Structures are given as structure tokens and as C-alpha cells.
Structure 1
Amino acid sequence: MFRGTALATGSLLLLLSGCLTGCATANAEGTHVGYADSAGPAVIGTDGSAQSRVVAALYGELLTRAGQKVRTANVSYASPIDTAQAVVDGRISIAPAYESTLLRAMPGGQTLPGNMEATLSMALPPGIVALPPAAAQGGVVLAVTNSTARKHELASLADLRKTGTGLTLGGSATGDPDAPSVAALKKTYGVTLTQAGTAGTSETATAPGAADVLVLRSTDPVITRDGLVVLADPESVVPPEHVFPLISAPAVDLPGRTALARVNSLLTTAQLARLTASVEAGETPGRAAKAWLRAKGLSH
């Protein structure tokens, strides 16, 4: 489990405190080394998802171009929590992480409303840093078909109040820990929906019998393919899941952190969805990452 010790607010200029000498950990092969004596490449870890692998490829390309040696871990982890734990344990140096998913694994962390950066920094153990997040989110969204949006003039979850009691809630991400319940939507937005099943997978989101309001992963290709309208969530009933680099502070130098920060404002949820879809369709994460970075002017 994560250790809930306090850490000063994370930023690109945050340096390791209290572990500059003799602080031991384990590398990807299980050999214990001291942080101060570790001169090897930064080790990037991922879970098995296309999304994690392509984001890690972006990080690897940016770090390499900043002059930092990197390599990919020789194991694939089961989930974002497992990759984060591997960073904390020192088995890897860096991994894509997601805000609310990470916080759920940290017992006793104090949440500061509206300040996720400070919340994470207080919850993480010394030497582990949450760098600023990208604009892209990898969590849950609620969406409707274009025809439903036009019929009821829907742009946000608050607009659902206008529809009365006839709409159903369902979708492929209904069982996700961040998926809002009918009760939560009622409490936050005064919306009355009826819980449907899990219809609304990538194959059936617009099929007859699908739920009216679909609970989907933000990078589900069905959103773009079927032209779904993602409803704004002004009251944040769905917790934030922006993707960010979780790093071991001694393993990523300041030029590397600065390079990673360049992706923050450029990587949107829609672009992350396209990158993920391209990898799921067979493109290698490295190739997809290089093409995206070139298109954004971040590489030659």
C-alpha cells in the first residue's frame, strides 16, 4: 500500500528532499540500488492498455529528446495502480498515472477541494512526484447521441433536468469506480434517470435499446465514431482523471521534467482517444507517439 507521508507541493522544480544519499530501492530487475548511486537509464513502466502504452511512448520520446537515457520496463503491469506502486517501490522510474485512481490507493490522504496537485503531493511518499497533468482525461464521461442532444437541447448534465423522467442511464463503463449513480446525479443535478443495463458498448452505443445517457470511458472510440455528444459536468460529479507522469524524483532530471511539461496543454482527451485507437488498430505505440509529436512541433 502507499505510505501517506507529507510532501511539499509538487512542481516541475520540485527536487528530492530527505533521500539524496543512501536511499535504497529496487530496479526493474529486482536488484537493490541506492538512488544517489543509480546512473542507469530511467525505466518507464506501463499497464497492458493501449492508452498507457502510447502515453508512455510519448514520455519516452520527450525524455530521449531532452538528452535523458530511458528504457521500457521488461514487465507489463496489470493496472495503473500497479504501475504507480512500481514507481513508489523503485522498480520503475516513471509511469502514466491518473489523479482519482491514484488517490483511491492512498489511505489517509487529505483532499484539498479544487487543488488536486497539492492533494497528490501530500499523499505521495518522499521522492515520488506527480508532475503537472495533461489536458487529456482517461476517466468516465456521460454522453448522448447527437439526435438526443438536439431533441432535448443538451450540452451539460444540468440540462438533463429538462427531459423529465423518461431517460435511462447505462453504458459500457457503468461499473467503473468513477461512474456516477442515478442517486448521485439526482443529488447533484436534480436529474431523474432510470438505471439501465450495460448496453452501450463500442458495438451497441447507438443501437436500438441502448441507454439514453451513456456512461463511457473518455477514450472509447464509439464517441468519435458515432458522433456522440459528451455532456459537460460543471459540478464535477465525475472525479477528474487527467493523465500525468508519476516519477521517482532522482530518476528524471530537470530538463526531462521540462520536456514532459510540453505535452500538458497539447494532449487533449480527443487526441488521446485517437492515439489509443490507432494503437488498438495495430500501430506501434512508438510510431504513434512520434507521429503525434511531429504534428505538434515537438520533434523533427
Structure 2
Amino acid sequence: MNRRRMVVASALATSALALSACGGGSDPLDNSSGGDGDTGSGSSESIIVGSANFPENELLAEIYAGALEAKGVSVSKKLNIGSREAYIPGLEDGSIDLLPEYSGNLLSFLDDKATAVSSEDVYAALPAALPEGLSVLEQSTAEDKDVVTVTKETADKHSLKSIGDLKGKNLILGGPPEWKTRATGVPGFEKNYGVTFKEFKVLDPGGPLTVAALKNGTVDVADMFSTDPTITTNGWVTLEDPENQFAAQNVVPVINKEKASGTVSDALNAVSAKLTTENLTAMMGEINQEQKEPADVAEEFLSSNGLS
């Protein structure tokens, strides 16, 4: 918890700047842009839905938003905010009310001494780790983990099957900027596997920059997401993680407790009940390969699952 307090204190200004650049013309730090905050039922309710800065999280935020709108909730969206260092303070100060999260990485961010690994244990540990005023609703079976990915050529050349096999190989790692300091990033590789890298290159979170860098050899090892169909399409190899550097990563809504009315909770829990790793992977294929907009893919998901 000391890590969370330190990060949140230092990131409040960053949060305000990041949020002000995201979506809409009104001031995102002014809750009046999202309505009166009444937690009653139907259209009297309002909620601000945020997302991290990568397509899958934007997709999930669009799904949450559409499900809530179908129940008469007034929704404002602040998408592509950034990393947890930016949006966790936003959740705390009310700049946003709701955001789709990934259980294991969230727990690790909030409590760097957490030891929970399984889906059930991670979920059980989250309430105590969350900042006051925030809660999680029901988690889905859908899981999207960070995966350490290499090309087949690199795997064959260096006999790579596990993350531990990277030890002593002097390779270049690519990942999001927060991997410089996070326990799931560069420090974790050294602590858990004794692995150090020749260089760390800052890329986007499993996005097009990462894909391009792995394809053209700018990096040898990259952080990607397990639901990304690009991995299979390119015949790339994900390295095993026997030391559980990456814990369970179930998709779960994080929400301001004051906004978690019966209407809102029921709508979001219904979404979680329908989300699976398989349909999330398929939806990401539509976005990454068919170039569909996340909002359109979200609408199709809600319609096909009776949630709109």
C-alpha cells in the first residue's frame, strides 16, 4: 500500500493533464459534465467511464458504457487516459467513475508485496488493496495476461521456451514505459528469473509500435497481450512463466462505490457473465485485423448477448 500512496500522490497532476486531453469538450475534472451523480435508478443516474490507453481496454469501456446506456444511465466517456499512474488518481478524485481493469496487474500495482496468483485469490485480495471509496464488481472469466513474446526465429536461435531461458542472452526488450519500474516489468525479470537485458526500449502497450518493433527486429523480446491474434497470425512464441511473474488477469470493473447502484452493478455484472477469453480474443481480431472501431465491435457484442 505504501507504493500506491506514493504513486497516487505524485501522479495527481499527471492525471489531470492526461484526463483533460481525453474525449469531449468539457472539463473532465468537473463531475458536472457527467450529470448530477444521483445514484437512483434509470435515467437519473450518471457515470463517467474511462479507459487505459490501448484498444482492448477502450473496447471494454465501450461495452460497459453501452450496457449502462441500455439501462437508462447517462454516460460520459473519457477514453485512452494512459496507464494506472494516471487513471487511478482519476478514479479516486471522481474525474472518472468506472474503468475496466485486469485483476492481477491491478493488485500488483496497488500492493507490490501481494503474493496472490490464482484468479480466486487475486480477486479476494483486491478489496483490501483498493483505495478507499473504490470497489470491484463481479469479475469475468475473460482473461488477458501480459505475455513475453518472441519471434519463432529468435526462439529457435536461442532455444527459448521459458522466460528463464532469456538469462545471459543479451537481448533487447520492448514494453510500455511503466515496465521500467513495475514489478511485472524489468525489475521482475531480474528478481524472478535473474534475467537482465541489453537494452529496454519504450513502446506502446502491446500495440502497433510493439508489433512493428518485433517484426523488424528493433526488439528481440516484447510485452504483448494474450488475447492479441497478431501472435498467432505471425507464428510468434509466448514464453512460459513458471515463476508467475504475471498473476491471473481477469477483466473486472473498478468503480466508485457511490456510483455502484443496483442498476449499474446489475448491468456490469451481466457484462462480466458474458465476457470470455474466447470472445474477447475474437473481438480483438475484428479491431486489429479487420480495422473495426471498438465502439462498433462493442455494439455488436452487446446486441448478440442481449445486453443492449
Q: What is the TM-score of this pair, normalised by structure 2?
A: 0.64
Question: Which whole-Å deviations, capped at 9, do the CAs of 1:56-101 have from their partners, x for residues lacking one?
Answer: 1222334455xx2234315446225344444444454422123355
- Is the 1:140–1:178 Cα contact (8 Å) retained in structure 2? no
**For structure 2, which runs of at least 5 residues remain unmatched after alignment?**
6-29, 204-208
- Is the 1:139–1:178 Cα contact (8 Å) retained in structure 2? no
- Is the 1:131–1:246 Cα contact (8 Å) retained in structure 2? yes
**Counterpart for residue 53 of structure 1:** 58
2:237 matches 1:229: yes
> Judging changes above 3 Å, is the alpha-carbon distance between structure 1 residues 38 and 57 closer, same or farther for their aligned structure 2 residues?
closer
Q: Between Structure 1 and Structure 2, which shows a larger proportion of helix residues?
A: 2
Q: How far apart in 2 are the matches of 1:273 and 1:37?
A: 33
Q: How far apart in 1 are the matches of 2:149 and 2:170?
A: 12
Q: Quote how far apart the aligned CAs of 1:29 are.
A: 2.5
Q: How far apart in 1 are the matches of 2:183 and 2:172?
A: 14
**Counterpart for residue 136 of structure 2:** 130
- Where 2:50 maps in the other structure, the secondary structure is coil
Between stretches 77-86 and 138-147, larger displacement belongs to 77-86
Letter of the aligned partner of 1:168 in structure 2?
L
Greater C-alpha Rg: 1
Question: Which whole-Å deviations, capped at 9, do the CAs of 1:181-226 have from their partners, x for residues lacking one?
Answer: 3x74355346x56423529832231335x44433345566753442
Q: How far apart in 1 are the matches of 2:80 and 2:215?
A: 33
- Where 1:205 maps in the other structure, the secondary structure is helix
When the two structures are aligned, how many residues end up with a matched partner? 266
> Judging changes above 3 Å, is the alpha-carbon distance between structure 1 residues 86 and 73 closer, same or farther for their aligned structure 2 residues?
farther
Letter of the aligned partner of 1:262 in structure 2?
A
Q: What is the TM-score of this pair, normalised by structure 1?
A: 0.66
Letter of the aligned partner of 2:295 in structure 1?
G
**For structure 1, which runs of at least 5 residues remain unmatched after alignment?**
4-25
Question: Identity, % of aligned pairs?
Answer: 22
Residue 126 (structure 2) aligned to one of 116, 120, 144: 120
- Is the 1:154–1:231 Cα contact (8 Å) retained in structure 2? yes
* Superposition misfits of 4+ residues, deviation over 6 angstroms: 36-39
> Judging changes above 3 Å, is the alpha-carbon distance between structure 1 residues 288 and 80 closer, same or farther for their aligned structure 2 residues?
same
Letter of the aligned partner of 1:247 in structure 2?
I
Q: How far apart in 2 are the matches of 1:193 and 1:124?
A: 31
- Cα RMSD after superposing both structures: 4.2
Q: How far apart in 1 are the matches of 2:91 and 2:262?
A: 12
- Where 2:114 maps in the other structure, the secondary structure is coil
